[in-house]
Chain A
Amino acid sequence: MEMVKVTIDGITKEVPKGYTVLEAAHSMNIHIPTLCYLKDINKIGACRVCLVEIEGAKGLQTSCVYPVSDGMVVRTNTARVRKARKYNVELILSAHDRSCLTCIRNKNCELQTLAEEFNVDEIHFDGDNIHYPIDDLSPSIVRDPNKCVLCRRCIAACNEQTVYAIGINNRGFRSIISPVFGRSLNESPCINCGQCIISCPTGALREKSSIEKVWDALNDPDTHVVVQTAPAVRAALGEEFGYPIGTLVTGKMVAALKRLGFDRVFDTDFAADLTIMEEGNELLKRLENGGPLPLITSCSPGWVKFCEEYYPEFIENLSTCKSPHMMLGAIIKTYYAQKAGIEPEKIFVVSVMPCTAKKYEIERPEMALYGIKTVDAVLTTRELARMIKEANIKFTSLPDEDFDDPLGESTGASVIFGVTGGVMEAALRTVADIVEGKDLDKIDYQQVRGLDGVRESLVTINGMEIKIAIANGTGNARKLLDAIKSGETFYHFIEIMGCPGGCINGGGQPIVPSRIKMDLDVKALRAKAIYEEDAQKAIRKSHKNPQIIKIYEEFLKEPLSERSHHLLHTEYERKELYSSKNNKENKKSATAAK
């Protein structure tokens, strides 16, 4: 690698030639503040917070985009630099809704942090402010342009996903980030993945909260409130209470849920095992019947909507399996209701998910059973943390507690559903055993692990060669599907998760500030926690879960049975990118500021 010599604040060091000044400074442990910069996602030099002095360059330069060159001399901490940065933050604040105390991002806002660190004690500019309406029509995501700093990190994240739901519109002071023609996110191609939320430095994007709905259910003595938690939640919830990234808090999470007053605490992992039973058998059936292949996983509602919108020709390839929490919802309101002697109408099911798309998924009409919803509310990992704080539960002091029976038992295979490659690995563990007709020693499939965007492998089971592929992030799914469409390649089985890295990096997970993302690989750390829990589990194959064996004996009979189909499977439909909307667009551009 070609190296160049750079001097920053008097320290001289060799750095790779392609580095920006920001990256070079970071490698020397010199901190340069940033706002619009987001590692690997957004690098545009728009906010002008990362200004530095470069000898020989005209004016101050934005370090996040300025490339290093040999002999370059940079100063990051002069009076001129500090003054310019501070003014820029003041200017941003002057057009910002500064209701910080009641903001969802209070104490976790990058703009707030900068204001504090720059010692902004007065805002010298008090110009016009445009008051924009809040867009809360989407079941998943709320947009508040009044808190937007126009950093475009959300647009970059959305484009990375190749969803293209939002863009920058108008210009100058009237610039606004929004879907086209002033539409709501709900009338855009948005797949509800929430990658924009976890990219946003401020409170301009947040999940549509279900907290009040859940409190109401908990406060109602006539309602039996059941909660389930997705695999990725336990690997990230701790971050909200000060634990290092990648700390597993499964036991404390269950204890907190019990203290919040949930009548039963079940594990979505149980339903992940159930998914493997259904989907594994669906794969075998499709392999026997010659198709349709590839079979593509359907656990991720963001990915499913992406497929329905952008790749409807692959709808027949989607597994008909509902996502695990929807399966568990259906099981709770039938099997469990019957066992517990409670009317399904009196049961309120809450899913705690790392995901904002699950909020959309429960509203899909085809998910209802006999006209009732099987999951009544979805909370993100962040919302659960807020409820725990609101209830004054001292999370760090909680003992470890266990999930409730009968839907709390799970295997290592189900835990890894939370990370890219996990559903594939879990399926292979079960499918291999079924095909070989014995309990194989092989459990780990290292070749499907990792965080690369698209991975492929060839697995041989009992002489049968299965070509598999894994994609995480819908942008990577697009690459994979395009390659299949062009006839370049063929696979039997594909796992797709809508978010980069899988559910561990879902849009409902704790928000990690960009400066921490520069130092830590958040996805890798959370993934490590997930694989740790898998390794600790006594049972690591879905079909060995005793409660799974029992539910098939008592209730479902066998995988893909009629009852399974009725409760655990679903269907999909082609969706328009932009549903038509009686020509309102042509009459008036609603983004025009008032």
Chain B
Amino acid sequence: MTALLEDVKEKDKYKRLHDVIDAYKDKPGALIPVMNEAQEIFGYLPFEVQKEISEGLNVPLTKVYGIATFYSRFTLHPAGKYRIGVCLGTACYVKGSSLILDKIKEKLGIDVNETTPDGKFSIDSTRCLGCCGLAPVMMINNDVYGKLSPDDVDKILEKYK
């Protein structure tokens, strides 16, 4: 039953994508707006989605992919249920946030901009989150964790398992 529901949901997303493509088709400069909306619909721009856009707008896939990898707002992988953002802004960096990031990467076995195979966690490195007094800082979805040391990582991640 769940599989069926997922399938229906997925088909609905593609239908919405096709509507967007139809609305923009033949308009100059359609590509980036369509990619934007596609990212809204799917949360990321996987191969199949980029291929649909390429075919729908009659633009080479190399162009779509080039844009998708150029702008940081586009992503090629689905975000995890819990999005971990480790601040690499100046204050956090000086306070050793790269060590926190390394620990998380090691713990989850994934790199920045990747998602764990179970879809639970994804890691982003972020710019300043605006609370330098708490440096080094990370966020998991909307929860903020400050004054971290690498030893804190295990316990924090445990909460979301």
Residues of A bordering B, CB below 8 Å: 155, 159, 164-171, 179-181, 577-578, 583, 585-589, 591-592
Contact = CB atoms under 8 A, between A and B. Distances in A.
B66 A181 contact: no
B121 to A, nearest CB: 14
B65 A578 contact: no
B47 A167 contact: no
Interface string B86-123: 00000000000000000000000001011001000000
A586 B65 contact: no
B69 A170 contact: yes
B15 to A, nearest CB: 20
Given A585-B46, A585-B47, A586-B47, A169 B65 contact: yes
A167 B54 CA distance: 14
B65 A181 contact: yes
A578 B111 CA distance: 27
Nearest to A172: B70
Contacts of A179: 62
A3 B62 CA distance: 39
Given A167-B66, A578-B51, A589 B61 contact: no
Interface in B51-79: 51, 60-66, 69-70, 76-78
B47 A592 contact: no
B39 interface: no
B137 to A, nearest CB: 25
A587 B77 contact: yes
Given A169-B66, A171-B70, A181-B47, 16 more contacts: A159-B60, A165-B62, A167-B60, A167-B62, A167-B65, A169-B65, A171-B69, A179-B62, A180-B62, A577-B61, A578-B51, A585-B46, A585-B76, A586-B46, A588-B77, A589-B76
Nearest to B45: A586
B77 A180 contact: no
Interface in B28-58: 46-48, 50-51
Contacts of B62: 155, 164-167, 179-180
Contacts of A169: 65-66, 69-70
Contacts, number: 57
A592 B77 CA distance: 12
Binding site of A, secondary structure by majority: helix, strand, loop or mixed? loop
B77 A164 contact: no
Given A166-B62, A181-B65, A578-B61, A588 B70 contact: no
Contacts of A159: 60
A578 B60 CA distance: 12
A589 B115 CA distance: 12
A586 B77 contact: yes
A55 to B, nearest CB: 35
A586 B50 CA distance: 11
12 contacts: A159-B60, A169-B69, A169-B70, A170-B69, A171-B70, A180-B50, A180-B64, A180-B65, A181-B65, A583-B47, A588-B114, A592-B111
* B47, B63, B113 pick with most chain A CB within 10 angstroms: B47
Contacts of B69: 169-171, 589, 591
A310 B7 CA distance: 30
Nearest to B51: A578
A592 B69 CA distance: 9
Contact of A164 (B60, B111, B113): B60
A171 B72 CA distance: 10
Given A586-B46, A588-B114, A180 B61 contact: yes
A563 B134 CA distance: 83
Contacts of A591: 69
B42 to A, nearest CB: 10
A589 B51 contact: no
B96 to A, nearest CB: 22
Given A578-B61, A585-B46, A168 B66 contact: yes
Contacts of B51: 578
A164 B9 CA distance: 32
Contacts of B61: 164, 180, 577-578
Contacts of B63: 164, 167
Contacts of B111: 592
Nearest to A158: B62
A183 to B, nearest CB: 9
Contacts of B76: 181, 585-586, 589
A170 to B, nearest CB: 5
B70 A170 contact: yes
A192 B48 CA distance: 24
Contacts of B70: 169-171
A155 B47 CA distance: 21
A355 B111 CA distance: 42
Contacts of B46: 585-586
Nearest to B61: A180
A179 B50 CA distance: 13
A326 to B, nearest CB: 30
A161 to B, nearest CB: 12
Contacts of B64: 180
Residue of B51, B62, B65, B117 with highest tally of chain A CB at under 10 A? B62
A434 to B, nearest CB: 43
A589 B60 contact: no
A481 to B, nearest CB: 15
Nearest to B63: A167
A167 B64 CA distance: 10
A150 to B, nearest CB: 13
Q: Which 6 A-B pairs have the closest CB atoms?
A: A167-B62, A164-B60, A585-B47, A180-B65, A586-B46, A167-B66
Chain A CB within 10 A, most for which of B63, B66, B70, B78: B66
Contacts of B50: 180
Nearest to A170: B69
A40 B91 CA distance: 51
A264 B47 CA distance: 50
Contacts of A587: 77, 117
A519 B64 CA distance: 36
B67 to A, nearest CB: 9
Contacts of B65: 167, 169, 180-181
Contacts of A592: 111, 113
B64 to A, nearest CB: 8
Tell me which of A155, A583, A589 has the highest count of chain B C-beta atoms within 10 A of its own C-beta.
A589
Contacts of B60: 159, 164, 167
A586 B111 CA distance: 15
A578 B117 CA distance: 25
A166 B63 CA distance: 9
A167 B65 CA distance: 8
A167 B66 CA distance: 6
Contacts of B47: 180-181, 578, 583, 585-586
